[in-house]
Amino acid sequence: MISLAGRDILHSWGKFVFTGIGLGLLIGVTLTMAGLYRGMVDDAKTLLDNSGADLWIVQQDTLGPYAEASSIYDDTYRSLLGMQGVAAASNVTYLTMQVRRTQAHSTNMANEVRAMIVGTVTNAPAQPGQPAYLVAGRHITRDHYEAIADISSGLQLGDNIKIRRNQYQVVGLTRRMVSSGGDPMIFIPLRDAQEAQFLKDNDAIVRQRARTAQNPALNRPNTPTLLAAVIQSQSVNNSVNAVLVQISPGTDPESVAEPIRRWKHLTVYTRVQMEDILIAKLIATSAKQIGMFLVILAIVSAAIVAFIIYTLTIGKIREIAVLKLIGTKNRTIATMILQQSLALGVIGFAVGKISATFWAPIFPKYVLLENSDAVSGFFAVMAICMLASLLAIRVALQVDPAEAIGG
């Protein structure tokens, strides 16, 4: 049996192919938008996986170090180590800021990079909070002025970076260590991170000391050492953002978390709870925006398919009338138009999938293209093409056979 749809496509292949390419680029954008959402979710899960923690101990009544500011004393972890079910506990600080490269091996790199600064304990690569693995270099061994950077930051081994007032040398590189927002992580010693997080500029320090000296309660004539002690306490930061806890194998996380909440007066989140915070709260707005874009792109795609199929149908009204005149059934004509619409969708999806695969790696944010999304997208495109062909089918079925002879 002769394929009427195939012969008609060959007759106007130029218009058909170029329309398929345009539709494909639109579908590629749609797949990329879905990949951006998948990438944000994967970044959030990767952040939790790479922390190596089973429990997150944070300030009471806060949502933790990733969603809200949290401050607890840095000696809290000692009391946690003695609790049943706790295998390891480690302090950690998080600070997102612009990091300036002061000396780079590649002159074409940007001088600044936005990164999440992570303060971790040194000489303890197996503790929670440490980089999961290194692709180059070594772990931090000194208490000051060494750093490990994610390769997405563009930093290389030996580069010098400036964080607040201090210079750090990159001694190690890691991969896929990013924040929930996709910013690369840079690990530095905990003490340096504590200082960087709450460090004041010199003028502010001078003003604070002057205000302290003017306070008669803190500058008593008969207690000359009191003022010095107060100023010293103001210049030291004894707080961290969270304590990351690893529990013993086979232990229920909630059985360890509940005593900490009850007796330590701290908020404790399990892995499931922390994942819910990151996905349901931090990226919820972005997910809604991406969802709206997907709906708009689907409507535009349907409009494009409907317009081109309708145009092709209007252009062959006389041919359709001839088919009816020789006894061709309406079902055959409708099938021809439907096949053209589906063929357009197949071409568009193929172009879109290939385009998304090629341009996804160059996006600044991580784009995760999953096969399940591609399969769902293919069936969605086919459904859109079927719906878009209804208008053209309706017009074709209303054609009068008399038009074939100019009636």
* One domain, residues 292 and 211: no
User: Could you give the CA distance from residue 243 to residue 147 in angstroms, rounded to a whole number?
Assistant: 20
In this predicted structure, what is the pLDDT of residue 171? 93
Residue 156 lies in a domain: no
18, amino acid identity = F
In this predicted structure, what is the pLDDT of residue 92? 92
Instruction: Provide the H-helix boundaries in 199-283.
Output: 202-213, 224-234, 253-264, 271-277
* One domain, residues 206 and 315: no
Q: Which of the listed residues 239, 259, 294 is the one where a domain comes to its end?
A: 239
Residue of 231, 300, 330 whose CA lies nearest to 29: 300
Residue of 268, 256, 246 whose CA lies nearest to 128: 246
Residue 116 lies in a domain: no
* One domain, residues 295 and 390: yes
* One domain, residues 220 and 309: no
Return the DSSP state at 34: H
In this predicted structure, what is the pLDDT of residue 367? 87
Domain that holds residue 314: 4-43+284-405
Residue 340 lies in a domain: yes
Contacts of 155 (CB under 8 A, 6+ apart): 101, 104, 113, 149, 161, 170, 173, 186
Residue 309 lies in a domain: yes
Rounded to two decimals, what is the model's pTM? 0.78
Residue 86 lies in a domain: no
In this predicted structure, what is the pLDDT of residue 235? 64
Query: Is the torsion defined by CA of 333, 336, 342, 347 positive or negative?
Result: negative
Q: Which of the listed residues 177, 208, 239 is the one where a domain comes to its end?
A: 239
Q: Give me the DSSP letters along 295-348.
A: HHHHHHHHHHHHHHHHHHHHTTHHHHHHHHHTT--HHHHHHHHHHHHHHHHHHH
* One domain, residues 395 and 311: yes
* One domain, residues 290 and 385: yes
In this predicted structure, what is the pLDDT of residue 407? 52
| Other Cβ atoms within 10 Å of 233 Cβ, number | 9
* One domain, residues 305 and 390: yes
* One domain, residues 320 and 209: no
- Give the chain's domain count: 2
Which two structure tokens, joined as six digits, stand for 3? 């394929």
* One domain, residues 385 and 290: yes
Residue 296 lies in a domain: yes
For residue 111, how many C-alpha atoms fall within 13 Å in the half-sphere facing its CB? Answer: 1
In this predicted structure, what is the pLDDT of residue 236? 64
Contacts of 27 (CB under 8 A, 6+ apart): 301, 348, 349, 351, 352, 353, 377, 381
* One domain, residues 324 and 232: no
In this predicted structure, what is the pLDDT of residue 189? 92
φ and ψ at residue 179, rounded to 5 degrees: -80, 175
CA angle 277, 249, 46 (to 5 degrees): 35
In this predicted structure, what is the pLDDT of residue 9? 59
Residue 395 lies in a domain: yes
* One domain, residues 289 and 386: yes
Which two structure tokens, joined as six digits, stand for 270? 């399990």
Residue 401 lies in a domain: yes
Strand partners for 57: 243, 268
In this predicted structure, what is the pLDDT of residue 2? 40
Residue of 123, 115, 128 whose CA lies nearest to 240: 128
**Helix or strand or coil: residue 364?**
coil
Q: Each residue's pLDDT tens digit in the chain (407 positions)?
A: 345 445 555 566 666 778 778 888 888 888 898 888 888 888 888 888 888 889 999 988 888 788 888 888 888 888 888 888 898 899 999 988 888 888 655 544 557 888 999 999 887 777 888 887 889 889 888 888 999 999 988 888 988 998 888 899 999 999 888 888 788 999 999 888 888 877 666 777 777 777 777 777 777 777 777 767 776 666 667 788 899 999 989 889 999 999 988 888 899 999 999 988 888 888 888 888 888 888 888 888 888 888 877 777 777 777 777 777 777 787 887 887 888 788 888 888 899 999 999 988 888 888 888 888 889 889 988 888 888 888 888 877 777 776 666 65
Q: Kindly give the pairing relationship between strand 55-58 and strand 185-189.
A: unpaired
φ and ψ at residue 312, rounded to 5 degrees: -65, -35
Q: Which of the listed residues 181, 210, 239 is the one where a domain comes to its end?
A: 239
* One domain, residues 235 and 300: no
